[in-house]
Amino acid sequence: DAGVIQSPRHEVTEMGQEVTLRCKPISGHNSLFWYRQTMMRGLELLIYFNNNVPIDDSGMPEDRFSAKMPNASFSTLKIQPSEPRDSAVYFCASSLAETGELFFGEGSRLTVL
């Protein structure tokens, strides 16, 4: 079975550009999470969805960040405009809400110059 699929794996962009990160969760999972990992702040929960509905976006750092889940098999995290401090590895994870264990993608490494 395919795991969580994230794209792109690496993204290098210039400050001010729009960045879109994509995630395909595991089929049948009903919860999806976006995390950001940096050396300074560790793993931060940005937003999570249950049954495609955003439940808690209190971790989204600013209005420049937005996330959508238009259907059960796809989610996006968008940063517009991007800034150098957004440089990080962004992870998508999915789970069955009943069991709680998270299945992570391999991450998208974002570098904003």
Partner 1 sequence: AQSVTQLGSHVSVSEGALVLLRCNYSSSVPPYLFWYVQYPNQGLQLLLKYTSAATLVKGINGFEAEFKKSETSFHLTKPSAHMSDAAEYFCAVRNTGGFKTIFGAGTRLFVKA
Q: Are 65 and 79 in contact (CB under 8 A)?
A: yes
Residue 91 makes CB contacts below 8 A (sequence gap 6+) with 6, 34, 35, 36, 37, 43, 104, 105, 107, 108
Of 15-23, 60-68, 80-88, 93-101, the segment contacting partner 1 by CB under 8 A is 93-101
Q: Which residue has the tokens 């940096």?
A: 38
At closest approach, how far in Å is the CB of 43 from partner 1? 4
Does 47 participate in binding partner 1 (rule CB under 8 A)? no
Does 1 participate in binding partner 1 (rule CB under 8 A)? no
**Residues that bind partner 1 in the complex, under the rule CB under 8 A:** 4, 31, 33, 35, 42-43, 45, 48, 50, 55-56, 91, 93, 97, 100-107
